[in-house]
Amino acid sequence: MSDDLIQQDFDECEELLRVGKARKDYIEANCERIDIWREAAETGDARAQVLYGLCYSYGSGVEEDLGEAFTWFEKAAAQGNAQGEFSLGNAYYHGIGIDEDYSQSFHWFEKSASQGYAYAMQSLACAYVNGWGTEEDPVSGSQWALKAANLGNQDAQYFAGLLFGLGLGVEACEKTSTDWFQKAVANGHEDAMYQLGIRYYRSKVEGDKFKARELFRQADLTLDEELAQSYISNHHSVFLPAYSSISDTAAETLSKSGRELNLDGLTELSDTAAESLSKYDASKLSLNGLTELSDAAAESLGKHKGESLYLNGLTELSDAATESLSRHKEALSLDGLTELSDAAAESLGKHEGYYLYLNGLTELSDAAAESLGKHKGAYLYLNGLTELSDAAAESLSKHKRRLGLNGLRKLSDAAVESLSKHEGDLDLRGLTELSDAAAESLSRHKGSLSLNGLTELSDAAAETLSKFHEDDLWLNGLRRLSDTATESLRKHRGTSLELDGLTQLSGFAAESLSKYKGYRLGLNGLAELSNDAAESLAKCQGSLFLNGLTALSDGAAGGLGKHNGYLFLNGLTELSDVAAESLSKHLGKQLYLWGLTELSDAAAESLSKHGGFLSLHILTVLSDNAAESLAKHPNLTIKLENLPASAAQILRDAGHGE
C-alpha cells in the first residue's frame, strides 16, 4: 500500500514538472505522508528520497533544512532517478544546500534530460542559450526547448515563443512565436499572457487590443515597487498597461515619473494609491480600466496636475466623485459614463480644463445641457448623443469653444438655428441630411463647421453655405456635387474647404474650384485627374491636397507644376521622368511626395531643382547618382534608415535626413 502511495505522489510531482509547474503546493498539501516517505527513503527508494528531500527544501512537515534536502536529492540522483537528477541540478543552480555551481547544474540537467525529463530539458535549454555552465549555444538550446515544449511543458512553450520572436537559435518567425505563446497561455503561463498581450496591444489588427486586455486580466499581474523602479530607470523594461493592480508603494514611485503613465490595465485602485498618483504632474495619466472609483480616490485624482486624466472605464460616478473630478485643471475624459445626473452635470459645467469628453452619453436632459453649456474649457465632446431637444441645443450653443455633437443624425431647424449661434468650432459629422433652412442658419456660424456625414447637398444649400466665410468647412461625406453647387462652394472664403469624398471632378467643377480663395482645398478622394482638371486646379491659390492620386499623367503633372501653393501628392507610388521634370518647376513653397518608394536618376536630378521644401519621406530605392543629385537640394526631408547605406551616407554628409 505504501509503495502505491509513494508511486502516486511521485507521479503527481512528475506531472507537475512536465507541464512546468512547481511542486511546492503539492508537497505542502500531502506532507502528512512524510513518515511513509521517510521510511522508504531510508531504505533506498529513490522516489521517496526525492519526496522527502522536497519536504526539507520547502519546510513542509519538518523544519526547513536545505543541506538535508541536498543530501536526499544527491542520493536519488546517484541511483539514476531522473526527477532526482533534475532536483540536484536545480539545487546546484539555485544554491540550495550547496554553493551555486552552474557546471554541476548543467551536468545533472543534461543527465535528467537525456532520460526524457521535460523540465530538465527546459532547464538545459536555458543553460545553453545563456551559457550557464557550458559554452553559449542557442541552436542546441532551441532544440532542447522545442523537445520540452512538444511534451507540453509550459515554461518551454513560453521560451520557444521568446526564441522565435528574437531569432535565437532558430529563424525568427513572429507567427511561430505567437503560436508557442498561445500554447503556453492555454496551460496558464502568466509570462506568456504578458508577452502575447503586449504583441496584441501593439497590433494594428482590429480586435487585437481586446484580446490583449483579456490576456492581461487573465494574468492578473500586480505592479510592485521593484517593477515601478525598473520603469523609472528604463521605461522599455516594463509594459504598464499589462498590470491589473498596483501596490501603494509602486504608485508613490510612479508619481515621480517624467513620462506618460498608461495604467489602463488597472481594475482597482486604493485610496492611498490614488493619493500618490494625484502628485504625478508630468503628462497624461490614463486609468481607463477602472470600472469604479471611491469618493476618496476621486477627491485625490481631482487634484492631479498633469495635462490629462482618462477614466473612460467608469460607467457611473457618484455626484460627490463628479464634484471632485470637476476640479481637475486639465483635460478630463469620462467617455464610459452613459448617464449624467443634473447635479453631476452642474459640477462638470464648472470644469475649466482644456477638454471634457463625455462621448458615452446617449441622452442629455435640458437641465444638464444648461449646466454643460457653461463649461469654460476649449473642447466639449458629446458625440454619443443621438438626439437633442431644441432647449438643450439652445443651452449648448452658449459654450464658447469647440463643441462635438457627431452622433446626431438629425436636428430640427430650430435646434440648428440655436447651434448656429455657437461661437466656437462645431462638429456635426453625423448629420446625413440638411434642409435649406438649416443650411441658411449654419451659414451664420462663426467657427469651423464639420458636416462630413452629408452625402448629398442641394444647390440651394450649397449656395447658402458659400456665405459661410468664418473658418473651415468640412463636407467630406459628399460623393458628388452638381456643377452649380461646386460653383457656389468655391465662393466660401473661410480657411479651408474639404471635399475629400469626391471621387470624380468634371472640367467645369475643376475650373470653379480653381477660383477658391481659401488657404486649403482638400480633394483627397480623387483617384484620377484629367489633364484639363489639373491645368485648372493649378490656378488655386492655397494649398492643394490630392493625396488620393496613385498615378499622374505627364500632362497632369505639367498642369500641377504651375501651381503656386503647397502641393500634396502623397498617394503617388510612381513618377515618370517627364512628370518629375514638370513638378520640379512647381512654384509653391512645399511639395510632398511621401508615397514614392523609388526614384530614377533622371527624376532625382529634376526634383533636386525644385525651389521649395521637398519631402520624399519613404524612399527605399535610390542609386548613389540619384542621392548625389538630391543632396544638392537645399531643403529636403527624407528618412535615411530606409535607404541603401551608401545613398544614405551621401545625403547624411550633405546635412539631410531625419
Q: Is the pLDDT of residue 269 over 60?
A: yes
Domain 1-115 shares a fold with domain 126-209:
yes
Calculate mean pLDDT across residues 312-332: 93
Calculate mean pLDDT across residues 626-633: 90
Degrees, nearest 5: CA angle 263-264-268 = 80
The pLDDT value recorded for residue 37 is 85
Distance CA 607, CA 141 (A): 53
Calculate mean pLDDT across residues 526-552: 91
Q: Using CA atoms of 404, 405, 407, 410 in order, give the dihedral in degrees to the nearest 10.
A: -150
Cell 454643460 belongs to which residue? Answer: 372
The pLDDT value recorded for residue 19 is 62
The pLDDT value recorded for residue 242 is 94
Tens-place pLDDT, residues 554-590: 999 899 989 888 999 999 999 999 999 998 888 778 9
The pLDDT value recorded for residue 3 is 76
Question: What's the pLDDT band for 468 if we cut at 50, 70, 90?
Answer: low
Q: Is the pLDDT of residue 318 over 70?
A: yes
The reported pTM is 0.79
* pLDDT-above-70 percentage for the chain: 98
What ranges do the domains of the chain cover? 1-115, 126-209
Tell me how far the alpha carbon of residue 404 is from its chain's centroid. Answer: 24
Question: What's the pLDDT band for 15 if we cut at 50, 70, 90?
Answer: confident
Tens-place pLDDT, residues 196-237: 999 999 988 889 989 999 999 999 999 999 999 999 888 888
What number of other Cβ atoms are within 10 A of residue 174's Cβ? 11
Residues 6+ apart with CB under 8 A from 279: 255
* pLDDT-above-90 percentage for the chain: 62
The pLDDT value recorded for residue 129 is 96
- In CATH terms, is domain 126-209 a member of 1.25.40.10? yes
User: Which CATH number applies to 1-115?
Assistant: 1.25.40.10
Q: Is the pLDDT of residue 541 over 60?
A: yes
Distance CA 409, CA 428 (A): 9
The overall average pLDDT reported for the chain is 91
The pLDDT value recorded for residue 611 is 84
The pLDDT value recorded for residue 23 is 81
The pLDDT value recorded for residue 34 is 87
The pLDDT value recorded for residue 470 is 61
Tens-place pLDDT, residues 85-118: 999 999 999 999 999 999 999 999 999 999 999 9
**Cβ contact 27:60 at 8 Å:** yes
The pLDDT value recorded for residue 366 is 95
The closest of 75, 70, 66 to 48, measured between CA atoms, is 75
